[in-house]
Amino acid sequence: MARAEFLLGAFCVLIMVSFDHAQGADGIDGIGVNWGNIASHPLDPHIVVNMLKDNKIKKLKLFDADSWTVSALAGTGIEVMLGIPNDQLKRFANDYGDCKDWVKENVTKHIYDGGVNIRYVAVGNEPFLKAYNGSNLKTTFPAVKNIQKALDEAGHGDKIKVTVPLNADVYESGSDKPSDGRFRKDTEDIMIQMVKFFNDNKSPFVVNIYPFLSLFQNPDFPKDFAFFDGAGKPIQDRNLQYTNVFDANHDTLVWALKRAGVPNLKITVGEVGWPTDGDKNANPELAQKFYSGFLKRMVAKKGTPLRPGPMDVYLFGLLDEDMKSVAPGHFERHWGIFRYDGQPKFHLDFTGQGRAVMPVGAKGVQYQDKKWCVFNKDIKNLSLVPKEIAYACAQSDCTSLGYGCSCQNLDMLGNVSYAFNMYFQMNDQSVEACHFNGLAKIVTDNATKGECLFPIQIVSSGEMLKVMIKGSAFLVGLFLSFITIM
C-alpha cells in the first residue's frame, strides 16, 4: 500500500474511532434495565429488544422466563437474568424434578451457538418482604439450591448463577448509621446461610434500593438526601460521610454482610429508579434529576464510600405497567423510563456523556385509531356519573388523576372523560366500551388537556392479560369515585 493510501486509511480509522467514541457506542458499563410486563397491551418483544440495542443497553432483568420474550433476545449478546415468581418457590423447594424441567424448558432450550446469553436466574422476587409476613421464609433457600443444582447438572452452572433479588427491608440499622447494619431479625438465620451459599457459589447478592420510597413513606425525609447533588446534610459514620440515602442504604448492606461473615460478597443493585406519575414527588423532572445524578456516578465508577469502584445495576424500569398492583401506591404503574408505548419521558443519556438527550424510543409501534371516548356534554342529568366513573377506573388505570399527578388539574367532567377514555382504550376502542349508560361519546379530536395526556392505546401483541383485572384496581376505582363526587 502506498504511503498516502496508508495514511488516508489510518486517518479514516481514526475518524471512525473518535466518531464511535463521540456516540458513546459502548453505552455505560454495568447498566442494565428491568423489563416487567404487567401491562394490558405489552409491546412486541422484538420491538423492545431493538429499543434496548438502540440505547446500548447490555443487561436485562426479567421477572419470569416467558419463552417469546427470551427467544427475542437470541443473538443480541444482551446478558439476561431470568426470573422465577414467588408463587413457584414452594414447588421448586419440594420437587427437584420440576427444577430440572424448568431448566430444560427455560434455559437449555435457549443455549446454543447464537442463542441467549443467560447469566443469572432470580429465584423469587423480594420473597422476604416484610409485607409477606414470612410466607416465603422456608421455601426460598431450598428452591435456590435446587435450581442451582439443576443448572449444574445440565452443565450451565459455571456460567449461570442463581440469586434472590431482595428488598432493602431485609436489613436494617438500629441507628441512622450504616455501620449498625445487620439482617432483619426474623430473616437473619436464613440470610446468613443463604449469603454463605452465594459466596461459595460465586452468586451476587441482589438488592433493590428505592430512594423514592424513603421520601414517599416518610413526610419528614430530607428531600435532598434522595438525590445525588450532595446538598443533603451529611451523615457522619466513623470516618465516612454519607450525602445521599442510596449510599447509606447500600453500605448498611455491606455491614450486614460483614457481620454475616461474607465481607466480600459481590453486590448487584437489582432495582433502582424513580417513577413519573401517581404521587406528588413522582414526575419526569425529578426522575430526570435522579437518573442523571445516578448515571454520572456510574460513568465515573464512583461506587459507594465502602465499595468504591464500578457497580452493577438494573434500572427500574423499562416500561410503564398499567396493570401492576397499586397497593404500595399509585406510582407503581409509572416506573418506566419509557411510556407504555415505548416513547421516552425525559432526558437520559444512555451513552454516558451526560447530554440533555432523550433515549431512543421504540420503533414500528402500531397504534389504534385516533379516537377518544369522552363525557357527552349534552347530558344534564349527572346522577349516574359516580357509578360509571367507578366502573371505568376499576377496570382500567386512573392513577394519573389525584393530588400531585399529571391530571390533577382536570375539572369534574374532565375527570369523567379521562376515566371513560382509559376504559375505552383498555378495551381496544370497542364501541360498547364507550357507552356508560349513554353518558359517553366517541370523538376524533385529541381529547388531551394540557399536561394530562389522553392516550391512544397500542395494538397489543401480547397475550391479553386484561382478564386478570386485579382486585386492587377495583378499590382504586371506588376510591377515585369517592373523591370525585366530593
Ligand X SMILES: *[C@@H]1O[C@H](CO)[C@@H](O)[C@H](O)[C@H]1NC(C)=O
Indicate which residues carry an active-site annotation: 126, 271
Minimum CB distance to ligand X smaller for 150 or for 254: 150
Which of 29, 54, 64, 180 is close enough to bind ligand X by CB under 6 A?
A: 64
Check: CB of residue 99 under 8 Å from CB of residue 138.
no
- The answer to the question of residue 86 lying near ligand X (CB under 6 A) is no
- Minimum distance of ligand X from residue 91's CB (angstroms): 8
434495565: which residue's cell?
Answer: 33
365: left (phi over 0), alpha (psi -120 to 50) or beta: beta
- Minimum distance of ligand X from residue 186's CB (angstroms): 13
Distance CA 317, CA 338 (A): 8
Select from 35-43, 101-109, 231-239, 460-468 the region that touches ligand X (CB under 6 A).
101-109
- The answer to the question of residue 152 lying near ligand X (CB under 6 A) is no
- The answer to the question of residue 412 lying near ligand X (CB under 6 A) is yes
374 DSSP assignment? E
- The answer to the question of residue 389 lying near ligand X (CB under 6 A) is no
- Which SS3 state, helix, strand or coil, does residue 271 take? strand
- Which SS3 state, helix, strand or coil, does residue 225 take? helix
Which of 45, 48, 59, 66 is close enough to bind ligand X by CB under 6 A?
A: 66
Select from 34-42, 58-66, 219-227, 250-258 the region that touches ligand X (CB under 6 A).
58-66
Check: CB of residue 120 under 8 Å from CB of residue 162.
yes
Distance CA 213, CA 185 (A): 22
Which amino acid, one-letter code, is at 61? Answer: K
Minimum CB distance to ligand X smaller for 155 or for 222: 155
Residues 419 to 458 in contact with ligand X, rule: CB under 6 A: 446, 448, 456
- The answer to the question of residue 218 lying near ligand X (CB under 6 A) is no
Check: CB of residue 124 under 8 Å from CB of residue 136.
yes
Distance CA 126, CA 61 (A): 14
Minimum CB distance to ligand X smaller for 294 or for 423: 423
- The answer to the question of residue 106 lying near ligand X (CB under 6 A) is yes
Minimum CB distance to ligand X smaller for 262 or for 398: 398
**Backbone torsions φ then ψ of 119, nearest 5 degrees:** -120, -30
| Cβ-based burial of 479 (10 A; exposed 0-12, middle 13-18, buried ≥19) | middle
Which of 158, 411, 432, 445 is close enough to bind ligand X by CB under 6 A?
A: 411
Distance CA 229, CA 211 (A): 14
- Minimum distance of ligand X from residue 67's CB (angstroms): 7
Minimum CB distance to ligand X smaller for 121 or for 311: 121
- Which SS3 state, helix, strand or coil, does residue 430 take? coil
Which of 121, 195, 315, 401 is close enough to bind ligand X by CB under 6 A?
A: 401
Minimum CB distance to ligand X smaller for 207 or for 458: 458
What grid cell was written down for 154? 445440565
- The answer to the question of residue 65 lying near ligand X (CB under 6 A) is yes
DSSP string covering 135-182, please? TTTTTHHHHHHHHHHHHHHTT-TTT-EEE-EEEGGGEEESSS-GGGEE
- The answer to the question of residue 101 lying near ligand X (CB under 6 A) is yes
Which of 21, 132, 231, 241 is close enough to bind ligand X by CB under 6 A?
A: 132
Which amino acid, one-letter code, is at 203? Answer: S
- The answer to the question of residue 105 lying near ligand X (CB under 6 A) is yes
- The answer to the question of residue 370 lying near ligand X (CB under 6 A) is yes
Which of 32, 43, 102, 390 is close enough to bind ligand X by CB under 6 A?
A: 102
Distance CA 46, CA 364 (A): 10
Minimum CB distance to ligand X smaller for 62 or for 213: 62
Binding mask 5-44 for ligand X (x = CB under 6 A): ----------------------------------------
- Minimum distance of ligand X from residue 99's CB (angstroms): 9
Distance CA 291, CA 271 (A): 13
Nearest alpha-carbon partner for 411 in 391, 437, 382 = 382
Select from 38-46, 131-139, 209-217, 249-257 the region that touches ligand X (CB under 6 A).
131-139
- The answer to the question of residue 340 lying near ligand X (CB under 6 A) is no
- Minimum distance of ligand X from residue 382's CB (angstroms): 8
Nearest alpha-carbon partner for 317 in 35, 55, 119, 86 = 35
**Residues near ligand X (CB under 6 A):** 64-66, 101-102, 105-106, 132-133, 135, 370, 381, 383-384, 401-403, 410-412, 415, 446, 448, 456, 480, 483-484
